[in-house]
């Protein structure tokens, strides 16, 4: 493909390589003290991949227990810890680090900057996130014995009050949950500040806001959302700690406190949070779909508008998680409407991606395979979301396996698929070698098959009345066969993920050399060497359109004539 010598500043790596290989301690030290956005991006992603495997093991244990009714593989206490930790891990130690890992690595490169606006804040943010996660997992260490002492949290990742108060959950497990997330929350906010400052103030010459890659736009929107959405969670967790140790009664219903207030705080965080997780998946798709369809993204201004629209509307939908708590009919109707409305800009994005592929010449390399599956799966996930938004139907489906199927369809079917796509796409830029394409295709097909076996059929027990968060279930309600099928799909996904992990490792040493631009792409990061030099660009780039490398490769038909 294209490893063209592009006459844009930064394509030559002029770093001196005269130094001898560093010792192990020097190498480790370099990674620990780094403030380089690329190294921090790699640290975030490696951290996320590690916890993806840990969270995956937790899920497999859950599925083993639920493969048959009245199973005795795991005790109820352990099961409750497993699903709490699985959810908390996947959202905060996998999802968020992937978001900030990708953003950290790519945003400065895509805007033609040397680094993030605040490199030391960047490093601080990573380490806060990392230590928060370690604090959460430290909770596992500790004896069994007096219930709750020194063991992992077991109150669900949503940690509803008053179950989390000391009257009902003594010991320190809930404290680990609250404190570890407060700590990593600081990291999240710091990373968001950096993304906003970098994309607003450090764009290269000629790159107006409407010439930024959509990847940068979506991460900017996500960063803005993070600033607004993390605070309610931190506030709620501080109030919880005050209730537990300082004599507060915010959520202490025995003393006049309110359980519903916890729900409002949590979901005002929780709903925008899932858009914080999914918008970066869209960001990845926005880069991969055009390049592999060989066409510019269809409707760039509408994509920007839709992203901003989603950000704002998503702040108004939170109580669709609370349709069953006894709000007024007016309240239920309002949140039904707002939730249906947020589906409109989201749907528009799907149409724009479809239109981008229309009339193109689609190359189905591994990144595009994952993105294509993402499109189908995200369509289904959005439609089951519309089903859940209808409050009376929600009264049946809430807290059932239908909800679990829906949100895993988004979290795995959309987000994880796009993360895999993004890793296959940018791994050559980061390491200088391509991931093995054969292993990639095995990974894709096995994972897609496993995903559908698990999450397609998981909707059915929900429709048949199976609630969530149960360590076992009654036979004779028609749930057994479906649960067994769901568990088998989980095992298939596990195998696919192992193939992926192996590919990451093997290709680092034996992968085909990538060159600057293995995919014939159009954004600035592909003009640097692979991996880029520490300073990214020796000379600040100057761009005339949204696809600077397209302009250089097609001087007779540049984008800036048509934008």
Partner 1 sequence: MAGNRDRRFCSSWIPRGVLLLLWAGWVRCFAADPGGGTSIFNPASTPAAATRDLAYFVLGITGAIFLVVGSLLAYVIFRFRQRSQDNIAEPPQVYGSNQVELAWTVIPVLIVVVLFLATARMIFAIQDAPKPQSALDITVVGHQFWWEFRYPKFGFVTANELHVPTSNPTDPTPTYLTLLSADVDHSFWVPRLSGKTDLIPNHPNSLWIDPGTPGVYLGQCAQFCGTQHAKMLLRVYVQSPADFEAWAHAQQQAAANSASVAEGRKVFETQACINCHTVKGTVATGRFGPDLTHLMSRDTLASGAALNTPENLRAWIKNPDDFKPGSLMPAMKLSDQQLDQLTAYLATLR
Tell me which residues in 235-264 interact with partner 1 (CB under 8 A): 253-254, 256-260
Annotate 108-164 with three-state secondary structure.
HHHCCCCCCCCHHHHHHHHHHHHHHHHHHHHCCCCCCCCCCCCCCCCCCCCCCCCCC
Of 24-32, 278-286, 471-479, 504-512, the window that binds partner 1 (rule: CB under 8 A) is 471-479
Distance of alpha carbon 383 from alpha carbon 402, whole angstroms: 12
Candidates 47, 137, 28, 55; CA nearest to 100 is 47
Is 467 a binder of partner 1 (CB under 8 A)?
yes
- What the block records as the tokens of 141 is 């260490």
Is 501 a binder of partner 1 (CB under 8 A)?
no
Q: Number of C-alpha atoms within 13 angstroms, CB side, residue 449?
A: 10
Beta bridge partners of 542: 205
Pick between residue 385 and residue 440 the one whose CB is nearest to partner 1.
Answer: 385
The dihedral sign for the CA sequence 16, 22, 26, 32: positive
| Minimum CB distance to partner 1, residue 66 (Å) | 10
Identify residues 284-303 at the interface with partner 1 (CB under 8 A): 293-296, 298-302
Distance of alpha carbon 219 from alpha carbon 104, whole angstroms: 10
Identify residues 79-98 at the interface with partner 1 (CB under 8 A): 80
Helix (H) or strand (E) holding 279: helix 259-293
Q: Using CB under 8 A as the criterion, what x/- string covers residues 165-194 for binding partner 1?
A: ---x--------------------------
Pick between residue 32 and residue 337 the one whose CB is nearest to partner 1.
Answer: 337
Of 206-214, 279-287, 429-437, 456-464, the window that binds partner 1 (rule: CB under 8 A) is 456-464
- The answer to whether residues 151 and 130 touch, using CB atoms and an 8 Å cutoff, is no
Q: Number of C-alpha atoms within 13 angstroms, CB side, residue 232?
A: 19
- What the block records as the tokens of 107 is 């945003």
Is 522 a binder of partner 1 (CB under 8 A)?
no
Q: What is the residue whose two structure tokens read 């605040």? A: 118
- Which of 359, 505, 512, 513 is in the footprint of partner 1 by CB under 8 A? 359
Identify residues 531-550 at the interface with partner 1 (CB under 8 A): none
Distance of alpha carbon 524 from alpha carbon 203, whole angstroms: 11
- Which of 363, 441, 485, 535 is in the footprint of partner 1 by CB under 8 A? 363
- First-residue to last-residue Cα distance in the chain: 27
Distance of alpha carbon 554 from alpha carbon 535, whole angstroms: 27
Is 357 a binder of partner 1 (CB under 8 A)?
yes
- Which of 3, 26, 30, 474 is in the footprint of partner 1 by CB under 8 A? 474
Is 400 a binder of partner 1 (CB under 8 A)?
yes
Angle, helix 37-66 to helix 24-33, in steps of 10 degrees: 90
- Which runs of consecutive H residues, i.e. helices, occur in 22-118? 24-33, 37-66, 76-88, 96-110
| Minimum CB distance to partner 1, residue 201 (Å) | 28
Q: How far is CA 317 from CA 260, 304, 310, in A?
A: 16, 21, 11
Identify residues 404-433 at the interface with partner 1 (CB under 8 A): none
Is 282 a binder of partner 1 (CB under 8 A)?
no
- Which of 362, 485, 488, 491 is in the footprint of partner 1 by CB under 8 A? 362
DSSP, collapsed to helix, strand or coil, labels residue 433 as strand
- Which of 62, 111, 279, 391 is in the footprint of partner 1 by CB under 8 A? 391
Is 121 a binder of partner 1 (CB under 8 A)?
no
Pick between residue 46 and residue 383 the one whose CB is nearest to partner 1.
Answer: 383
Pick between residue 23 and residue 329 the one whose CB is nearest to partner 1.
Answer: 329
- For 256, other C-beta atoms within 10 Å of its C-beta total 7
| Minimum CB distance to partner 1, residue 101 (Å) | 29
Is 390 a binder of partner 1 (CB under 8 A)?
yes
- What the block records as the tokens of 391 is 């409050």
Torsion of CA 184, 186, 188, 192, to 10 degrees: -170
Is 460 a binder of partner 1 (CB under 8 A)?
yes
Identify residues 20-79 at the interface with partner 1 (CB under 8 A): 75-77
- The answer to whether residues 510 and 535 touch, using CB atoms and an 8 Å cutoff, is no
- Which of 50, 124, 140, 160 is in the footprint of partner 1 by CB under 8 A? 160
- Which of 135, 315, 375, 499 is in the footprint of partner 1 by CB under 8 A? 375
| Minimum CB distance to partner 1, residue 111 (Å) | 21
Q: How far is CA 187 from CA 35, 134, 191, in A?
A: 14, 13, 6
- Which of 32, 134, 200, 344 is in the footprint of partner 1 by CB under 8 A? 344
Q: Return the ∠ at Cα 113 (arms to 18 and 111), rounded to 5°.
A: 130
Pick between residue 102 and residue 335 the one whose CB is nearest to partner 1.
Answer: 335
Is 560 a binder of partner 1 (CB under 8 A)?
no
Of 96-104, 362-370, 412-420, 433-441, the window that binds partner 1 (rule: CB under 8 A) is 362-370
Is 4 a binder of partner 1 (CB under 8 A)?
no
| Minimum CB distance to partner 1, residue 4 (Å) | 13
| Minimum CB distance to partner 1, residue 263 (Å) | 9
Is 144 a binder of partner 1 (CB under 8 A)?
no
Distance of alpha carbon 179 from alpha carbon 236, whole angstroms: 11
Is 438 a binder of partner 1 (CB under 8 A)?
no
Is 396 a binder of partner 1 (CB under 8 A)?
yes
């Amino acid at each position: 493909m294209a490893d063209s010598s592009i006459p844009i500043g930064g394509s030559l790596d002029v770093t001196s390589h005269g130094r001898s290989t560093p010792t192990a301690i020097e190498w480790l030290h370099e990674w620990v003290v780094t403030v380089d956005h690329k190294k921090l991006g790699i640290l975030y992603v490696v951290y996320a991949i590690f916890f993806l495997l840990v969270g995956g093991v937790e899920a497999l244990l859950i599925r083993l227990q639920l493969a048959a009714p009245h199973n005795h593989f795991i005790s109820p206490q352990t099961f409750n810890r497993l699903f709490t930790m699985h959810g908390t891990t996947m959202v905060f130690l996998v999802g968020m680090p992937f978001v900030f890992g990708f953003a950290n690595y790519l945003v400065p490169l895509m805007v033609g900057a040397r680094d993030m606006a605040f490199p030391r804040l960047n490093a601080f943010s990573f380490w806060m996130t990392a230590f928060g996660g370690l604090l959460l997992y430290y909770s596992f260490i500790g004896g069994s014995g007096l219930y709750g002492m020194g063991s992992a949290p077991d109150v669900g990742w949503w940690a509803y009050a008053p179950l989390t108060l000391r009257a009902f959950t003594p010991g320190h497990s809930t404290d680990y949950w609250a404190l570890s997330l407060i700590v990593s929350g600081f990291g999240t906010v710091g990373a968001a500040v950096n993304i906003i400052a970098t994309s607003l103030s450090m764009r290269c010459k000629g790159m107006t806001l409407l010439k930024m890659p959509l990847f940068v736009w979506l991460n900017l929107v996500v960063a803005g959302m993070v600033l607004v959405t993390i605070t309610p969670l931190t506030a709620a967790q501080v109030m919880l700690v005050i209730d537990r140790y300082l004599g507060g009664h915010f959520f202490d219903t025995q003393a006049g406190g309110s359980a519903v207030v916890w729900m409002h705080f949590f979901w005002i965080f929780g709903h925008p949070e899932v858009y914080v997780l999914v918008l970066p998946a869209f960001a990845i798709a926005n880069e991969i779909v055009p390049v592999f369809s060989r066409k510019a993204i269809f409707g760039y201004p509408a994509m920007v508008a839709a992203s901003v629209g989603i950000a704002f509307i998503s702040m108004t939908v939170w109580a669709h998680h609370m349709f069953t708590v006894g709000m007024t009919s007016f309240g239920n109707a309002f949140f039904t409407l707002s939730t249906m409305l947020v589906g409109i800009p989201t749907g528009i994005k799907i149409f724009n991606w479809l239109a981008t592929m229309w009339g193109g010449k689609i190359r189905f390399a591994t990144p595009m395979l994952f993105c294509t599956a993402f499109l189908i799966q995200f369509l289904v996930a959005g439609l089951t979301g519309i089903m859940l938004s209808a409050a009376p139907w929600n009264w049946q489906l809430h807290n059932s396996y239908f909800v679990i199927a829906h949100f895993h369809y988004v979290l795995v079917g959309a987000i994880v698929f796009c993360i895999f796509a993004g890793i296959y796409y940018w791994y050559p830029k980061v390491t200088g070698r391509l991931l093995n394409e054969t292993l990639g295709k095995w990974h894709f097909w096995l994972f897609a098959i496993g995903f559908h076996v698990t999450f397609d059929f998981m909707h059915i027990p929900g429709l048949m009345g199976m609630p969530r968060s149960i360590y076992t279930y009654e036979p004779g309600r028609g749930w057994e066969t479906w649960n067994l099928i769901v568990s088998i799909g989980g095992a298939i996904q596990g195998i696919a993920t192992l193939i992926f992990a192996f590919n990451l490792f093997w290709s680092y040493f034996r992968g085909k050399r990538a060159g600057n631009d293995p995919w014939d792409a159009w954004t600035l990061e592909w003009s640097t060497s692979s991996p880029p030099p520490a300073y990214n660009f020796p000379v600040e780039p100057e761009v005339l359109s949204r696809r600077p490398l397209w302009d250089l490769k097609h001087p007779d038909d540049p984008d800036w004539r048509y934008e």
